[in-house]
């Protein structure tokens, strides 16, 4: 068995792996990317792909934006319903117009592979499954073996990037320490035709007690209904998933009219979507995307965070590989940036995935946000992961939250809804 040598090897060609490989290759580095998916048309089946607006800069940098727009992806925005009324983002005088995307993985995953294949120094091997990781005498990982239809292959590189998703077989092989917290909600969703939203292209989120409902407009004139529901209701949902899903939305305020709609997909869903997190670097490995941090999908952060982390990794590690200097420092800098940018978001997302009731501060924020356009805008920036919690809960915003709670009527009149305690 011969071994090829590269500057970097990326395991996984989802959003995190594709972005890592492209952004390293664009620095002139020789990159091998392997993925076990058999061909270009294979895509991740279970993902609701509401990509938060924090990811727009990296989407633009990759050249993915033009491709998404051409493919009919929806430039997304959302309105959030709580028991106090609608939290709408009217910009509050902020000139920035960042948006995310709603696009099916069936559409986005092949576009990412297309971008990879356009890089002259990037070799993409599909149908290639990581089976072993090799370390040098210092314990630093520097090579791997992968299975292909032509038999096992080995390759070596100065940098191995694990972007192999939530279960990360690579992290298991390397013995990367993994932390886990149980998620107490399951999810079911389906695409529909002829189900326009009353808000046009603006997605709708409903917080009904401890459950969440989402209606997203999608490419292909589709609408998705998606519900994240506490585990105790699972037996009832499992008995008739479509009826349970459609009934969930029937009484929600301003919900789409289902009378003309027809299902455009089977009901998809998952349980036990636990939160996993691992260090961003381990014995020379860089971990990117879900392999490093796999949050509750209800937050819709996974694809965006995966591409953003890839960008931070490539910005730090790429120049060190090009110059042959400061590799260890670059890896440490990546880990530090990952923690500084995402640890706070991860904490709040993980805390909410227990399916607990909203706490007093969250209630005060929601109540203020239906009354005060600035608070509403900041809620949207935080939920869109554009700002960190320290910026969101600044003394200025906290003051506005308190004042708005003391002040008169909401901007939008609350409508009746059923709320499950
Ligand atoms: C129900 C659900 C809903 C979601 N909704 C959203 C949402 O609305 N918005 C959002 O942003 N995110 C959402 N996510 C999360 C999102 O799907 C992930 O965060 C995102 O796919 C992570 O990207 P990634 O590149 O890290 O991993 P992945 O997309 O999982 O890619 C990993 C790649 O590694 C490959 N691979 C795995 N093992 C090996 C191996 N041994 N050898 C070679 N290749 C391997 C796989 O084939 C795959 O292509 C959702 C997830 C779920 C489960």
Check if 20 has its Cβ closer than 6 Å to any atom of ligand 1: no
Pairing of β 141-148 and β 74-76: unpaired
| 368 & 382 share domain | yes
Answer yes or no: are the C-beta atoms of 54 and 385 closer than 8 Å.
yes
How would residue 16 be classed by pLDDT, with cut points 50, 70 and 90? very high
| 239 & 256 share domain | yes
User: Which of 303, 312, 313, 353 has most ligand 1 atoms within 8 Å of CB, for mutation?
Assistant: 303
The H-or-E segment that residue 406 falls in is helix 395-406
Is 74 a domain residue?
Answer: no
Residues 209-221, mean pLDDT to the nearest whole number: 94
Residue nearest to atom 41 of ligand 1 (CA): 130
Q: CB-based burial of residue 257 (10 Å sphere; 0-12 exposed, 13-18 middle, 19+ buried)?
A: exposed
Residues 340-346, mean pLDDT to the nearest whole number: 95
| pLDDT score at 98 | 82
Of 314, 315, 330, 325, give the one whose Cα is nearest residue 21.
314
Among 270, 286, 309, the domain boundary falls at 270
| 260 & 389 share domain | no
| pLDDT score at 355 | 87
Among 270, 298, 317, the domain boundary falls at 270
Check if 24 has its Cβ closer than 6 Å to any atom of ligand 1: no
| 171 & 24 share domain | yes
> pLDDT at residue 416 above 60?
no
Cα 81 from Cα 303, distance rounded (Å): 24
How would residue 312 be classed by pLDDT, with cut points 50, 70 and 90? very high
Check if 365 has its Cβ closer than 6 Å to any atom of ligand 1: no
Which of 350-354, 365-369, 409-413 reaches the highest mean pLDDT?
365-369
| 33 & 108 share domain | yes
User: Which CATH number covers residue 257?
Assistant: 3.30.9.100
Distance from residue 397's CA to the centre of ligand 1 (Å): 35
Of 21, 111, 100, give the one whose Cα is nearest residue 311.
21
| pLDDT score at 418 | 35
Check if 9 has its Cβ closer than 6 Å to any atom of ligand 1: no
Among 270, 303, 322, the domain boundary falls at 270
| 149 & 198 share domain | no
CA atoms within 13 A on the CB side of 52: 22
| 41 & 109 share domain | yes
Task: Output the DSSP codes for 128-140.
Answer: -EEEEEEE-TTS-
Is 57 a domain residue?
Answer: no
pTM of the model: 0.95
| Bridge partners of residue 154, in order along the sequence | 3, 145
Is 60 a domain residue?
Answer: no
| 115 & 147 share domain | yes
| pLDDT score at 354 | 87
Q: What range defines the domain where residue 390 resides?
A: 360-406
Buried/exposed code over 128-161 (b: 16+ C-beta within 10 A; e: otherwise): bbbeebeeeeeeebbbbbbbeeeeebebbbbbbb
Per-residue pLDDT tens digits for 172-214: 999 999 999 999 999 999 999 999 999 999 999 999 989 999 9
How would residue 3 be classed by pLDDT, with cut points 50, 70 and 90? confident
Q: CB-based burial of residue 362 (10 Å sphere; 0-12 exposed, 13-18 middle, 19+ buried)?
A: middle
Closest ligand 1 atom to the C-alpha of 270?
A: 1
Closest ligand 1 atom to the C-alpha of 50?
A: 8
Distance from residue 47's CA to the centre of ligand 1 (Å): 8
User: Which CATH number covers residue 11?
Assistant: 3.50.50.60
Angle at 9 between CA 26 and CA 38, to 5 degrees: 100
| 233 & 312 share domain | no
User: Which of 13, 14, 37, 314 has most ligand 1 atoms within 8 Å of CB, for mutation?
Assistant: 14
| pLDDT score at 97 | 72
Check if 384 has its Cβ closer than 6 Å to any atom of ligand 1: no
Residue nearest to atom 51 of ligand 1 (CA): 47
Is 306 a domain residue?
Answer: yes
Distance from residue 14's CA to the centre of ligand 1 (Å): 6
| pLDDT score at 388 | 95
| pLDDT score at 407 | 82
Distance from residue 298's CA to the centre of ligand 1 (Å): 14
Number of domains in the chain: 3
Cα 147 from Cα 239, distance rounded (Å): 40
Question: In 10 A of CB 74, how many CB atoms?
Answer: 21
Per-residue pLDDT tens digits for 52-100: 999 999 999 999 999 999 999 999 999 999 999 999 998 877 777 789 9
> pLDDT at residue 415 above 70?
no
Closest ligand 1 atom to the C-alpha of 289?
A: 26
Check if 172 has its Cβ closer than 6 Å to any atom of ligand 1: no
Is 42 a domain residue?
Answer: yes
| 288 & 230 share domain | no
Segment among 47-56, 103-112, 118-127, 405-414 with least mean pLDDT: 405-414
Is 411 a domain residue?
Answer: no
| 255 & 163 share domain | no
Check if 12 has its Cβ closer than 6 Å to any atom of ligand 1: yes
| pLDDT score at 408 | 67
Residue nearest to atom 15 of ligand 1 (CA): 302
| 38 & 146 share domain | yes
**In whole angstroms, how far apart are CA 74 and each of 71, 189, 212, 223?**
9, 18, 21, 11
| pLDDT score at 92 | 75
Is 420 a domain residue?
Answer: no
Is 78 a domain residue?
Answer: no
> pLDDT at residue 219 above 60?
yes
């Amino acid at each position: 068995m011969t071994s090829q040598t590269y500057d970097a090897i990326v395991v996984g060609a989802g959003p995190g792996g594709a972005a890592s490989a492209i952004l390293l290759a664009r620095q002139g580095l020789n990159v091998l990317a392997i993925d076990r998916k058999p061909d270009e048309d294979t895509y991740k089946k279970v993902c609701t792909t509401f990509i938060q607006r924090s990811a727009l800069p990296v989407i633009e940098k990759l050249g993915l934006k033009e491709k998404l727009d051409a493919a009919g992806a929806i430039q997304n925005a959302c309105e959030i319903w709580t028991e106090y009324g609608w939290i709408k983002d009217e910009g509050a005088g902020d000139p920035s117009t960042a948006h995310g995307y709603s696009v099916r993985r069936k559409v986005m995953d092949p576009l990412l592979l297309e971008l990879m294949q356009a890089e002259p120094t990037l070799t993409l091997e599909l149908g290639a499954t990581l089976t072993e990781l090799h370390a040098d005498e210092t314990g630093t990982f520097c090579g791997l073996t992968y299975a292909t239809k032509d038999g096992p292959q080995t390759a070596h590189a100065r940098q191995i990037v694990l972007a192999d998703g939530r279960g990360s077989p690579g992290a298991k092989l390397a013995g990367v320490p993994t932390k886990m917290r149980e998620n107490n909600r399951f999810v079911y969703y389906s695409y529909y035709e002829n189900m326009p939203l009353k808000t046009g292209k603006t997605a709708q989120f409903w917080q009904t007690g401890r459950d969440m409902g989402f209606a997203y407009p999608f490419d292909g004139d589709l609408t998705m209904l998606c519900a994240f529901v506490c585990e105790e209701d699972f037996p009832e949902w499992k008995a008739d998933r479509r009826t349970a899903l459609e009934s969930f939305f029937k009484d929600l305020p301003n919900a789409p009219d289902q009378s003309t709609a027809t299902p455009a997909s089977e009901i998809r869903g998952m349980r036990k979507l636990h939160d996993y997190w691992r260090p961003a670097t381990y014995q020379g490995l860089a971990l990117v995307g879900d392999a490093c941090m796999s949050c509750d999908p209800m937050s819709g952060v996974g694809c965006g965070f995966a591409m953003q982390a890839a960008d931070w990794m490539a910005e730090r590690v790429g120049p060190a590989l090009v110059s042959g200097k400061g590799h260890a420092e670059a890896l440490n800098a990546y880990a530090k940036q990952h923690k500084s940018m995402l640890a706070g978001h991860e904490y709040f997302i993980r805390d909410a995935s227990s399916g607990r009731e909203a706490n007093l501060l969250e209630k005060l924020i929601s109540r203020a946000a239906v009354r005060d356009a600035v608070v509403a805008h900041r809620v949207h920036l935080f939920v869109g992961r554009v700002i960190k919690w320290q910026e969101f809960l600044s003394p200025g915003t906290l003051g506005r939250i308190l004042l708005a709670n003391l002040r008169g009527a909401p901007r939008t009149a609350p409508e009746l809804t059923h709320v499950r305690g």
